[in-house]
């Protein structure tokens, strides 16, 4: 009996020990807590790195699409910091304007749309950021003296606003919100500052890209204009004295570079405009221009205004001016008339037309003025060349006459009374210099012209 009781007691104790859970030591608990913390920090770091990688990829792949970059930055910032919603603002030096939103409550979105660009109210967190260019962190907006717009319309309670700075110049603000009282941690604020720096990088990249595109566009435009000018100068050089190919080349390039549909070049002579070149004109406009011929414009016509003012005139189809032929027969909606001036004297005009209601820019007008100046140079060169040709022809003719006279005098002096060689030399030179085919020289004796067999009379055929 006693043995059985001991055995039973031992079995009961063993079962009792087996049923009782093991107690973990404090060191084990601390190790597991540390492991959880490290795992959590690892996951957060991985999440941050993934977000940074995605944003940097967007910045490089879409440098001109700031809206997409801003929206992605804001989405990651809000999600990683466990915020409810967020807004990214651009700052123009006076006002803030929402540039991106994430998960913003509808009442707040509607209120922001109604408000538009704004200057922050004094005493608010946004005003503090604008004044100090420092982070503003509000633990509970409703407990503040000025709760602000976002607490009123979006239910924001905890808020952190981080400035976007470039060379200490404020260009924007990123703000994220909790809708419960839950302050943001220092790590979350640092993370938001990092996202702010990325937004600044995106803005700067977009600015540089736009400048590059503008510079490239300007260079391409300048190269195209220089090519056109070189072409015109080439035509002037290869066709001295021929104005028609020069005018056609000028008008063609002016019309093309200024994105016009057709053009007309006029010379102004004897108080009338005479069309001398047409480019891209419709059959109706060509017929009208040719049938009209040289014309005197009326003062209410744009080209009449050009004649009066010697300045560029831009006309539109929807104005109250008198009907313009190019609008009726050419389908034009807008055109410019550019004067061709020499010493303030009008020598012609270049007109180019668009069939859409899109005004010509100052650059395009300046380009046509450059072509007009070249046209004047071509006209002047032609005039000088013609004068040179005439002077050369006169000098050549005078030299030929002097040579012929000298030859005849030489024969006279050497003939010693023999008239026939003298007459032959005279007749030959007269026929040649006057570009005649043949000539006859007769002597007049006893009231009649009669050939003589002796040296007193000679006849030569050429």
CA-to-CA distance for 175 and 186, rounded, in angstroms? 15
pLDDT at 61 over 70: no
Higher pLDDT among residues 242 and 359, named by residue: 359
pLDDT at 52 over 70: no
Q: Is the CB of residue 160 less than 8 Å from the CB of residue 189? A: yes
Buried residues in 328-338 as b, exposed as e (16+ CB within 10 A) = ebbbbbbbbbb
Q: Is the dihedral of CA 399, 404, 407, 408 positive or negative?
A: negative
Rg, C-alpha atoms of the chain: 48
pLDDT at 47 over 80: no
Higher pLDDT among residues 109 and 233, named by residue: 109
H/E stretch holding 267 reads strand 262-269
CA-to-CA distance for 224 and 227, rounded, in angstroms? 5
pLDDT at 217 over 70: no
Place of tokens 């200490």: 168
Q: Which of 162-176, 334-348, 377-391, 434-448 has the lowest mean pLDDT?
A: 377-391
pLDDT for position 57: 58
pLDDT for position 144: 76
pLDDT at 377 over 70: yes
pLDDT at 235 over 80: no
Sequence-distant (6+) residues with CB within 8 A of 334 are 314, 315, 316, 317, 353, 354, 356, 357, 358, 359, 360
High-pLDDT (> 90) share of the chain, %: 26
Q: What is the pLDDT of residues 295-326, one digit of tens each?
A: 999 888 888 999 999 999 998 876 545 457 87
pLDDT band at residue 177 using 50, 70 and 90 as cut-offs: very high
pLDDT for position 232: 63
Mean pLDDT: which of 223-237, 291-305, 448-462 is highest?
Answer: 291-305
CA-to-CA distance for 31 and 200, rounded, in angstroms? 42
pLDDT at 367 over 80: yes
Beta carbons within 10 angstroms of residue 398's beta carbon: 10
pLDDT at 459 over 50: no
Query: Bridge partners of 320?
Result: none
Beta carbons within 10 angstroms of residue 247's beta carbon: 25
Buried residues in 55-86 as b, exposed as e (16+ CB within 10 A) = beebbeebbeebeebbbbbbbbbbebbebbbb
Higher pLDDT among residues 421 and 311, named by residue: 311
Average pLDDT over residues 207-227: 65
pTM flag (> 0.75):
no
Rounded to whole angstroms, what are the CA distances from 429 to 261, 291, 392, 423, 451? 59, 49, 20, 10, 20
Q: Is the CB of residue 378 less than 8 Å from the CB of residue 389? A: no
Q: Which of 47-56, 156-165, 180-189, 243-252 has the lowest mean pLDDT?
A: 47-56
Q: Which tokens hold the place of 58?
A: 């967007």
H/E stretch holding 333 reads none
Place of tokens 């924007």: 172
pLDDT averaged over the chain? Answer: 78
pLDDT at 11 over 50: no
pLDDT for position 222: 60
CA-to-CA distance for 162 and 195, rounded, in angstroms? 9
Q: What is the pLDDT of residues 380-420, one digit of tens each?
A: 777 776 776 677 677 777 777 777 777 777 777 776 667 77
pLDDT at 442 over 90: no
Average pLDDT over residues 33-60: 60
pLDDT for position 135: 93
pLDDT at 453 over 50: no
Q: How far apart are the first and last CA of the chain?
A: 175
pLDDT for position 205: 74
Place of tokens 């040579």: 403
What secondary structure, in 3-state letters, does 411-446 show? HHHHHCCCCHHHHHHHHHHHHHHCCCCCCCECEEEC
DSSP per position, 15-28: HHHHHSPPPPPHHH
What structural domains does the chain harbor?
34-208 (3.30.450.40), 239-376 (3.30.450.40)
DSSP per position, 4-67: HHHHHHHHHHHHHHHHSPPPPPHHHHHHHHHHHHHHHHHHHHHHHHHHHHHHHHHHHH-TT-HH
Q: What is the pLDDT of residues 94-151, one digit of tens each?
A: 999 999 999 999 999 999 889 889 998 888 888 999 999 999 998 888 777 677 788 8
pLDDT at 191 over 90: no
Sequence-distant (6+) residues with CB within 8 A of 48 are 80, 191
Average pLDDT over residues 260-279: 92
pLDDT for position 296: 92
Rounded to whole angstroms, what are the CA distances from 460 to 174, 315, 441, 442? 109, 70, 8, 10
pLDDT at 291 over 60: yes
């Amino acid at each position: 009996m006693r043995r059985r009781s001991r055995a039973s007691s031992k079995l009961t104790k063993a079962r009792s020990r087996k049923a009782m859970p093991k107690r973990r030591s404090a060191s084990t608990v601390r190790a597991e807590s540390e492991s959880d913390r490290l795992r959590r920090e690892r996951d957060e770091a991985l999440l941050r790195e993934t977000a940074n990688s995605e944003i940097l990829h967007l910045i490089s792949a879409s440098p001109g699409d700031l809206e997409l970059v801003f929206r992605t930055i804001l989405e990651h910032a809000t999600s990683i910091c466990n915020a409810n919603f967020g807004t990214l603002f651009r700052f123009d030096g006076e006002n803030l304007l929402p540039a991106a939103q994430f998960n913003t409550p509808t009442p707040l979105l509607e209120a922001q749309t109604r408000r538009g660009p704004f200057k922050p109210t004094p005493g608010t967190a946004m005003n503090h950021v604008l004044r100090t260019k420092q982070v503003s962190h509000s633990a509970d907006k409703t407990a503040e003296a000025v709760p602000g717009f976002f607490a009123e319309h979006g239910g924001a309670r905890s808020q952190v606003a981080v400035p976007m700075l470039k060379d200490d110049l404020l260009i924007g603000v990123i703000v994220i919100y909790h809708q419960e009282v839950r302050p943001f941690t220092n790590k979350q604020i640092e993370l938001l500052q990092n996202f702010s720096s990325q937004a600044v990088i995106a803005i700067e990249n977009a600015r540089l890209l736009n400048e590059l595109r503008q510079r490239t566009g300007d260079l391409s435009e300048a190269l195209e204009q220089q090519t056109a000018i070189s072409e015109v100068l080439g035509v002037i050089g290869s066709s001295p004295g021929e104005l028609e190919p020069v005018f056609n080349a000028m008008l063609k390039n002016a019309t093309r570079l200024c994105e016009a549909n057709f053009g007309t070049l006029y010379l102004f002579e004897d108080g009338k405009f005479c069309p001398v070149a047409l480019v891209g004109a419709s059959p109706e406009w060509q017929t009208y221009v040719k049938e009209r011929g040289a014309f005197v414009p009326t003062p209410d016509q744009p080209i009449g205004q050009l004649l009066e003012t010697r300045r560029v005139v831009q006309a539109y189809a929807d104005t109250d001016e008198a009907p313009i032929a190019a609008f009726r027969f050419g389908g034009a909606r807008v055109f410019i008339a550019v004067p061709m001036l020499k010493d303030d004297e009008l020598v012609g005009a270049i007109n180019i037309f668009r069939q859409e209601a899109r005004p010509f820019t100052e650059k395009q007008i300046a380009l046509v003025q450059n072509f007009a100046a070249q046209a004047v140079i071509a006209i002047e060169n032609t005039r000088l060349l013609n004068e040179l040709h005439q002077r050369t022809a006169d000098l050549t003719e005078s030299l030929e006459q002097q040579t012929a006279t000298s030859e005849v005098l030489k024969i006279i002096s050497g003939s010693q009374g023999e008239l026939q060689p003298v007459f032959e030399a005279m007749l030959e030179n007269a026929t040649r210099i006057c570009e005649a085919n043949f000539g006859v020289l007769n002597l007049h004796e006893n009231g009649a012209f009669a050939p003589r067999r002796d040296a007193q009379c000679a006849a030569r055929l050429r």
